[in-house]
Amino acid sequence: MPITAVNELSLPPAVELRDITRAFGRKPVLDGITMQVERGELFGLLGPSGSGKTTLVKLITGIDKADGGSVRLLGETMPKLKMLQRIGYMAQSDALYNELTAKENLQFFASLYELSGSRRNERIQAAMAVVDLLDHLNKPVAAYSGGMKRRLSLAIALLHEPELLVLDEPTVGIDPVLRQSIWRELLALREKGTTILLTTHVMDEAEKCDRIALIREGKLTAIDSPEALKAKSGTASIEEAFIALGGGGRG
Ligand SMILES: Nc1ncnc2c1ncn2[C@@H]1O[C@H](COP(=O)(O)OP(=O)(O)OP(=O)(O)O)[C@@H](O)[C@H]1O
C-alpha cells in the first residue's frame, strides 16, 4: 500500500480538515468535518445527492471558504493562490471557454500552471491521450458533447502532473469503456505517488478506493477502507454498508 511507503518520508498529509463548518443562510451544509487524506492515497467521498460533497471539495480547493475550521493541503493552510500549481481540480460543472478550441483552453491553463515550451506541448498531448480526445484537439469546445467537455476538464486537471488531484464526479456522463480507461489511468497515477481525492455516486468506483468517507447531511458517518466498512457493517457490498452505516438511500 503506498501510504506506508510515503508515511516513512514523514511528509505532511495531502489533505487535513479540522472541524469544518459551512452554512448557506440558516442551512448548515457541513457540520464538523474532520478527516485526513494521506499522501499517495486514492480517497473517495461518497454520499447521496445534496449531502455536501461538492461544498466540501470547493472548500478543500480554496474556491469557497469555510465558516469554521481549517483546511491544510500538502502542509499549507488554504486558501493559497500558489497552491494552484500543486493541485489539479476538476469541478462538477465544466469551467471551459466555449469559443476557444480545446488546445487553446489547454494552453490557457498551461500558462496558469507556468508550463511552457516543449514540456507544455508534451503535457497537452499526454493529457488529451488519457481522455481519448487527441483527434479533437483543434475543435472549438462549443462543438464538444457534454461527455467530451467532462473529458477535457479532466485533461486540464491532469495537465501539470499535480501532486494532488481533486475530482468532483469525474466519470459522470462518460461511457463505460472510457470510464474504465480513465480508472486505469487514475490507478497508474496513484502508483506513481499522486494523491487522488474524488467524489462519486458509483459504488464500484468507491470499491476501487483505498479509503472512503461516507457523508450524509453534512456529517461524516464512517471513514475506512471498503473492506473494513463492509466488515464493520457485516454487509457484502459498499452499497449495503453505506445504508447500514447511516448513509441513507442511494449513494
Ligand atoms: N451556493 C449555495 N447557496 C445555497 N445553498 C447551497 C449552495 N451550494 C450548495 N448549497 C446546498 O448545500 C447542500 C449540499 O450541496 P452539495 O452540492 O455540496 O451536495 P453534493 O453532495 O455535492 O450533491 P450532488 O451529489 O447532487 O452534487 C444542498 O442542499 C445545496 O442545495
- Judge whether 108 lies within some domain: no
- Per the structure, the count of domains in the chain is 1
- The pLDDT-based confidence of 9 (bands split at 50, 70, 90) is low
Whether residue 180 has its Cβ less than 6 Å from ligand 1 = no
The conformation of residue 13, written as its DSSP 8-state character, comes to P
Would you say residue 22 has pLDDT above 50?
yes
The torsion defined by the Cα of 96, 97, 100 and 104, in degrees rounded to 10, comes to -60
Q: What's the order of all strands across the beta sheet hosting 68-73?
A: 27-37, 15-24, 68-73, 76-77
The conformation of residue 12, written as its DSSP 8-state character, comes to P
Residue 133's nearest CA partner among 193, 178, 68, 78 is: 178
- Judge whether 118 lies within some domain: no
Taking CA atoms only, the protein residue closest to ligand 1 atom 12 is: 29
- Judge whether 72 lies within some domain: yes
Would you say residue 72 has pLDDT above 90?
yes
Taking CA atoms only, the protein residue closest to ligand 1 atom 24 is: 49
- Judge whether 146 lies within some domain: no
Contact 20, 32 (CB under 8 A): yes
- Judge whether 60 lies within some domain: yes
Would you say residue 246 has pLDDT above 80?
no
Whether residue 26 has its Cβ less than 6 Å from ligand 1 = no
- Judge whether 232 lies within some domain: yes
The one-letter code for the residue type at 181 is: S
Whether residue 52 has its Cβ less than 6 Å from ligand 1 = yes
Please state the atom number of ligand 1 nearest to the C-alpha of residue 58.
Answer: 18
Q: Which domain holds residue 53?
A: 2-86+162-247
Q: What is the ipTM of this complex?
A: 0.96
- Judge whether 138 lies within some domain: no
Which CATH number goes with the domain that contains 210?
A: 3.40.50.300
The percent of residues in the chain predicted with pLDDT above 90, rounded, is: 73
Average pLDDT over residues 112-120: 93
- Judge whether 224 lies within some domain: yes
Instruction: Measure the N-to-C terminal CA separation of the chain; round to a whole number of Å.
Output: 26
